[in-house]
Amino acid sequence: MPMQNQPMNVALIQRSASTDPQENLEATISDIRRAAEQGGKIICTQELFRSQYFCQSEDHANFELAETIPGPSTKAFSQIASECGVVIVASLFEKRAPGLYHNTAVVFDADGSELGLYRKMHIPDDPLFYEKFYFTPGDLGFKVFSTRFGKVGVLICWDQWYPEAARLTALAGAEILFYPTAIGWHPAEKAEYGEAQHSSWETIQRSHAIANGVFVAAANRIGHEGDPDGGIQFWGQSFLCNPSGTIIAKASQDKAEILMAECDFSTIDQQRTHWPFLRDRRIDAYSPIVNRYIEQS
């Protein structure tokens, strides 16, 4: 059962990735153990932490990076969750069946049990982010996982831009929304667009916290990956914000960090009664939202 009215530390793992999946797994497990030693209770990895961000190109060889669930990584996470008594949100490249792959997050409770999966619903297809080549859109809907330390909602990277995803996950009972992430700048564009791009990314997620009265936690990677003359410069800056949208902890652009902050889920009720956005929703008027576009006569 979730622990009620007890503030607890939430930790995000921000790091660079090597080309060796096993090395990345071992380094992330080591970071989780360190986070637990520092008092972390709910710990989240960055998106697709086991490899460098392979979606910069459409290459069939990259499907070899995928693994089944259950598989080697889920076994390792189950063991460390049980050993340390922590909840873990782990982002994996899932091989579901031959020719069927997902960008998936797995949630483990503090006893090591696997609580379930969230499969990324929104799949981008932009320059250097060719995810539609690799990932089938999620088919599990928007999920909430009742853990020992609270009700955890998980969305993944591109899902960040969709208020509908945050709203539905919050309405299902999430107290905190986790966004495992791999996002950065095209280096040639950074000088002109970089500040605005990062500001938009941070602002949209803070708005999810405000609109829904929940905590939000985004775990990003760091480092340059890909073509030395191009590629992606991941901007790090993982952060946690409270239900008022105030950032309570933020990581650097370029350093490996275990980012941690105390989250008190008992404050959610106070936030929602003072700013009663959920109370005042006009659910009788929202049916057009399911349309792709609303034509005006």
- Residue 219 bridge partners (DSSP): 180
**Angle at which helices 72-84 and 21-37 cross, to 10°:** 10
For residue 245 the two structure tokens come to: 């949208």
d(CA 233, CA 226): 9
CA–CA distances in Å: residue 152 to residues 116, 125, 223, 292: 11, 28, 28, 29
Catalytic residue among 44, 55, 157, 241: 157
Out of 41, 95, 120, 151, pick the active-site residue.
120
The answer to whether 2 touches 148, Cβ cutoff 8 Å, is yes
User: One of 47, 202, 225, 257 is an active-site residue; which one?
Assistant: 47
Does the annotation mark 157 as catalytic? Answer: yes
Element (H, E) at 233: strand 232-235
DSSP secondary structure, 105-143, as one string: EEEE-TTS-EEEEEE-----EETTEEGGGT-PPP-S-S-
Q: Can 120 be counted among the known catalytic residues? A: yes
List active site positions. 47, 120, 157
